[in-house]
Amino acid sequence: MKIILFGPQTSGKGTQAKILKDKLSIPHISTGDIFRENIEKKTPLGLKVKSILDEGNLVDDNTTTEIIKNRLEQEDCKNGFILDGFPRNINQAEALESFAKIDHAIEIAITDEEAIQRLSNRRFCSTCQHIYNLYTVPKPKDAKLCDFDNSPLIQRDDDQPSAIKKRLSIYHEQTAPLKEFYQEKKILHMIIGKQPIESVTKDILAVLK
């Protein structure tokens, strides 16, 4: 079961990938998470990509593809995987074809208005990194504090308004063409993202059957 999840920022692909990972017993691989971990640990890769992420731009295709290629060679990927945030453009999708045969490409669709609303309300805990949204349920009990450890909730640098606009326009220009790419391969499924989390999961599981 080799699955790609894509959709505009905050469509819920990260949330769904985490749920599917447990249900399907295959790893969840998020390029955004890999970059953020490296930034946090100040590795050479992290230092190289920090300003790119902060500004809402894409990391270059060679760097990103190399990371995914190495990750997919690991033992835990032999029965499948869920890719979240990769590929992000046709160039990456073509590169992926050369080292993995994807079974399902799932687009979680939401409108730009919905994405902007969700992005500008996204917060994360400065200590445990738990992600909240002040707009969608479940909300934190206090809009400023983490439910688990009472640490302040902060906004990701790339969730600031200027970066949000850039990320959405990059999505339309570069990532949305993946629909046609996977449609032609007859493995595209479109799921409505503006539904409760459990309903989105149910719709995804239905198309994977």
Give the interface segment with ligand AMP, choosing from 55-63, 73-81, 131-139, 177-185 (CB under 6 A).
Answer: 55-63
Contact stretch for ligand AMP (CB under 6 A) within 21-29, 58-66, 104-112, 129-137: 58-66
Structure tokens at 185: 């391969």
DSSP one-letter string for 118-155:
HHHTEEEETTT--EEESSSSSPPSBTTB-TTT-PBEE-
Which of positions 131-170 make contact with ligand AMP (CB under 6 A)?
158, 167
Query: Is position 71 annotated as part of the catalytic site?
Result: no
What is the H or E stretch that residue 9 is in?
Answer: none
Q: How far is CA 51 from the centre of its chain?
A: 19
Residue 69 known to be catalytic: no
Q: Residues 99, 65: contact at Cβ < 8 Å?
A: no
Q: Which one from 139, 156, 179, 194 is the annotated catalytic residue?
A: 156
Identify residues 8-27 at the interface with ligand AMP (CB under 6 A). Answer: 9
Choose among 110, 112, 108: nearest CA to 191.
Answer: 108
Active site residue 122: yes
- The site for ligand AMP (CB under 6 A) is made up of 9, 31-32, 35, 52-53, 56-59, 64, 85-86, 88, 92, 158, 167
- Mind telling me the catalytic residues? 13, 88, 122, 156, 167
